[in-house]
Structure 1
Amino acid sequence: MPDWLLPLLVPMAAALAGALLMLAFRPRGGGGGDAVLLLAERMEALSQRLDTAVAAQSERMHRALAESADRTQDSARRIHERLAVIDAARANLESLSGRVTTLASILGNKQARGAFGEVQLRDMLADRLPTEGWAWQHTLANGTRCDALIRLPFPPGPIAIDSKFPLEAWQALRLAMDDTARTAALRRLATDIRRHVDDVATKYICPGETAEGALIFLPSEALHADLHAQHGALIAEAARRGVYLVSPGTLWAVLGAMRALMRDVRLKAEAQALRLGVARLAEEVGRLDRRVANLRRHHAESQADMDQIAITTQKILAAAARIEAVEMDPPGTARAAE
């Protein structure tokens, strides 16, 4: 039974009990009808009160249920939103897991790893350098084909880049479970570094054709950091031989410096061309000045000739005027004189 119904039933039960008692003890005479009417009125009033209370309680319950339903719906909506976020995160994790697996398979395959390093190197060169500033898969005079050649002017000269660094020993070092495996991996890594540096120094550095140094591109920042931390002596030895190991980050900075150098060389070439053009222009201006002087001299001479012509014309006009002014004798006067 609900808690709100008991307070309503108790007065009703009391009223019914009182009515029954009145009916049981009422006199036998004619006053029983009034008592019954009074009881009926009280019952009617009690019924109305009970109906009103039940309606109010029903309204309160309806309102409470509606609010509870709204809260439940809002909670369900938030739960659905969180589930959607969780599903999206799960999808991202699955996608990332697939990419990590793909990257692991690429790094595990020597040919695929070399292709991955070449693609990364080529994208960086295409992004940082002008098209005429580098060549891909360039063949040197000794027959060696380097992955890329950066065409820098002398000095320092073109720089060759290699992108096929061996990673097997480094991977074995990262997966080593004990000191013995770690020591063996370190020894193997040192051997691989020394052998690869020797190959690059021998094949990629050609006096008179390339610069006195070459670059080895490492496609991993972690590998670059590990090599400098664990094999600093080998890195210094490679630098003394003119071979420098660069990561994507350091190569980005190096390419920026090379681009600035190419820009300076281009500006110097353009300035030299501009200087030669100005010199040719000055020569043409001198030639024009000489021709103008000649034209001025010719003009002066022409003016002098015109002045002489004008003087001669004036003399001719004067002579013509004198001739015209001469009076001729009449014919009869001449015969009379004879």
Structure 2
Amino acid sequence: MNDLSILLDRPVAQLGATTVTLGHALAGAGIVLLLLVGLLAAALWRSASARAQAAADAAQLARDAEMRMAEIVRQQVEMQTRMGLMNESLTARQAELNQSLGQRLDAMTGRIGQTMTEQTRSTHESLAKLQERLAVIDTAQGNIQSLAGQVVQLQAILSNKQTRGAFGQSRMEAIVADGLPHGAYEFQATLSNGSRPDCIVRMPNGTPPLVIDAKFPLEAWNAIRAAEAAEGSPEAAKAAAQAFRRDVEVHIKAISEKYLLTGETQDTAFMFVPSESIFAEIHENFEALVQRAHRARIVIVSPSLLMLSIQVIQSVLKDARMREQAHLIQGEVVRLMEDLSRLDDRVRKLQGHFALTAKDIDQIVTSADKLAKRGQKIEALEFGQAPDSADSSPAAEPSVGTRTGQLRLRVVDGDD
């Protein structure tokens, strides 16, 4: 016993000023062991309580699951009943819709056919009038082209030297006849004083005609050429030149007195020289004759100058003819634009009818697509989350007839 007391009093550790003995250590270990045993017992008790509570909760969950399964079965039966009613209602509504669509399409087809017939007839009438106007315009254009197509050409004319001026007159007549249209000139016309010029050219806008004289003193010119060719004395060539100058002056005076009539002819006349070489010789060696002719308002012209003058006159006449035809063409163009305006209005009306038809067909296709989508949803049972037990009572649900009426309204309106 003493040994045990000594053993228990033996110090085993020193904690500051406190000496821990073996007895203290064994007492502490016993206390710790008791605490561990208590904690283990409490843990075992809590585990048993938790298992009991879990079993109670599992039983309660099983009962709730059975109740919910029963409710789901009941709702499924009710849903199948409603689905059957909705299927019957949709079938009837689809038949009515097909019948209504068929009637509307038939009526619309009839109206479109009638409208297209009227528009086609109106278009044919407008095109016929347009063709008539174009024919008139083509005729006027042909006349203008005929005037523009008259090109001045120089034709070979055989010289006739039996009488004075025959050679010059034949060339002058060829140039005038080739350059001007028939009726714009006259050969050997008689004036009020009884004189007969070789040619008069009628000017447009009521102005007096232009006189052309072709009686050039060719014999005097041939005498000059004969004197030069004979290589005789200078006095002979000088005498021939003086005779030629005198004859030309007399001829200029005769033209001025007989053909320049105030108010009846132009105040200027043409004296035609039948050769370019003679014309050049006159301007080179007989400048005084040219100045005298200018003072007498007589223009000396060669075949080239006469041709150019005739072309200018031709252009003036063509412009006058075109101005005369301009009001006719303008009137036809105005009527053509009126016909085109009426045709445009009718085409726009026809386009509007087609636009309305396309809009109605698009609405019909949209309604049909929506019906098909709703049928697919119904077939796939895509109705969202099932209602809770508190909201699943028959009083909270709308009646089948009300839903069918709402569905019918939505289908007809095409808003959903």
Q: TM-score range by the shorter chain?
A: 0.3 to 0.5
TM-score by length of 1: 0.48
